[in-house]
């Protein structure tokens, strides 16, 4: 048997190692992109998959994680008007807005929460932790009252969210996290057109009065209300047109694509305009966005840094507002 010269062997090993490094570097750079969110490193190639719930350990920590998941999926059972723990929310479940207990792609999932919090948020003008973010959802989307941050319910919800994002590196926002940003229309979103979309696509589940459908137990909703006192209030993220449109574009109708066609981008914008033109609960959120210039383009409540009307900030067209905001940044 021929024996390979040790120097030649070292040379071959070195060349192979260099080639491997070059290939890996090319693969990483292929997916790396410029960060669009201040303070976040956004990597489009990072794919997140929800961990298997059957692998939650059978320990005290594991039981807390399971309870947290149950709180997300069945919030009303514990915290709704007939809640067994407290009666402090409107009867909706967290997973009405965060589908499949916060695990579905482009359905407001929780994949990026643990990796990006604590973080500064313009809405409060402060650095927020997970507890603050959860209580904001309870206050706004569930139109409820904040829960004790040291109580078992908050600790369980936090433990579940952390468990979901445990493998996401710090300051990385995975692909398909949150809600997709749709391209702006070249016109205003139209509530009248949106009403026709609602009748065709949404009414069979959410009702002609938008009040949803309660389960037989009268504790939780099979299909949640989209307006009125039992829906999200005017401080919720979904009250912004872009958030609602992006959410329903990827996730509604609920039986799509098997039994009905998904919404188009245009239909999503218009039905968002219709739903968010309906009456709903209000609270005093006048302290939101202490830096007025930090308000999102589609935040519908003044004061504003520009001269566009509150109606245009709500319904659009949004491109003129966007361009004006970008122009002011360059001054």
- CATH (domain of 143): 1.10.760.10
Average pLDDT estimate for 1-26: 40
Do 190 and 325 reside in the same domain of the chain?
yes
39 belongs to a structural domain: no
* Model pTM score: 0.85
Distance of CA 22 to the CA centre of its chain: 36
Q: What CA dihedral angle connects 174, 176, 177 and 178, to 10 degrees?
A: 160
Domain termination residue (choose one: 173, 189, 208): 173
The last residue of a domain, from among 173, 192, 207: 173
CA pair distance 238, 179, nearest whole angstrom = 10
Same domain assignment for residues 144 and 200: no
Which pLDDT score, from 0 to 100, does residue 258 have? 81
57 and 193 in a single domain? The answer is: no
Cα separation, 310 vs 298, whole angstroms: 9
Question: 165 with 52: CB under 8 angstroms?
Answer: no
pLDDT digits (tens, 9 = 90+) for 112-158: 999 999 999 999 999 999 999 999 999 999 999 999 999 999 999 99
Q: What is the mean pLDDT of the chain?
A: 89
Q: Are 314 and 300 in contact, with CB atoms under 8 Å apart?
A: yes
Residue 105 counted as domain residue? yes
Start-end of H helices in 32-151: 60-73, 75-79, 99-102, 113-116, 130-140
Whether residue 77 has pLDDT greater than 50:
yes
pLDDT tens figures, 172-185: 999 999 999 999 99
Structure tokens at 263: 């919404």
Domain count, the chain: 2
Confidence label for 331 from pLDDT (cuts 50, 70 and 90): low
Do 247 and 108 fall into the same domain? Answer: no
Region of 3 on the Ramachandran plot (φ > 0 left; ψ -120 to 50 alpha; else beta): beta
46 within domain boundaries: no
How far, in Å, are 83, 190, 193, 260, 264 from residue 273 at the CA level?
32, 6, 9, 22, 14
Residues 228 and 134 in one domain: no
The answer on 288 and 161 residing in a single domain is no
SS3 223: strand
Pair 273, 203 in one domain: yes
331 and 185, same domain (yes or no): yes
Residue ending a domain, among 116, 146, 173, is 173
Residue 190 covered by a domain: yes
pLDDT band at 23 (very low <50, low <70, confident <90, very high): very low
297 and 193 in one domain?
yes
What's the domain range around 253?
A: 179-331
Half-sphere exposure of 227 (CA within 13 A, CB side): 19
């Amino acid at each position: 048997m021929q024996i390979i010269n040790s120097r030649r062997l070292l040379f071959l090993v070195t060349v192979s190692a260099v080639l491997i490094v070059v290939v890996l570097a090319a693969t990483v750079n292929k997916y790396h992109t410029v960060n669009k969110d201040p303070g976040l490193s956004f990597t489009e190639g990072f794919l997140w998959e929800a961990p298997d719930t059957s692998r939650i350990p059978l320990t005290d920590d594991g039981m807390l994680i399971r309870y947290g998941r149950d709180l997300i999926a069945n919030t009303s059972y514990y915290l709704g008007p007939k809640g067994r723990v407290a009666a402090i929310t409107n009867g909706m479940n967290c997973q009405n807005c965060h589908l499949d207990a916060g695990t579905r792609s482009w359905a407001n999932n929780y994949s990026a929460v643990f990796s990006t919090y604590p973080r500064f948020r313009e809405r409060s003008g402060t650095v927020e932790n997970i507890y603050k973010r959860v209580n904001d959802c309870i206050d706004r989307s569930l139109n409820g009252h904040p829960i004790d941050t040291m109580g078992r319910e908050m600790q369980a919800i936090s433990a579940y969210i952390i468990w979901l994002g445990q493998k996401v590196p710090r300051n990385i926002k995975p692909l398909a996290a949150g809600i997709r940003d749709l391209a702006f229309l070249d016109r205003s979103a139209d509530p009248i057109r949106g009403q026709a979309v609602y009748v065709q696509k949404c009414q069979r589940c959410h009702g002609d009065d938008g009040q949803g459908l309660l389960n037989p137990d009268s504790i939780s909703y099979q299909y949640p209300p989209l307006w009125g006192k039992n829906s999200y209030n005017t401080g919720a993220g979904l009250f912004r047109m872009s958030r609602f449109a992006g959410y329903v574009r990827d996730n509604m109708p609920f039986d799509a694509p098997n039994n009905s066609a998904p919404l188009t981008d245009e239909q999503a914008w218009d039905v968002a305009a219709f739903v968010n033109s309906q009456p709903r609960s209000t609270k005093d959120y006048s302290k939101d966005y202490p830096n007025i210039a930090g308000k999102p383009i589609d935040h519908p409540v003044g004061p504003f840094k520009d001269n566009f009307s509150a109606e245009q900030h709500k319904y659009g067209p949004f491109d003129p507002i966007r361009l004006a905001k970008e122009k002011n940044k360059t001054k």
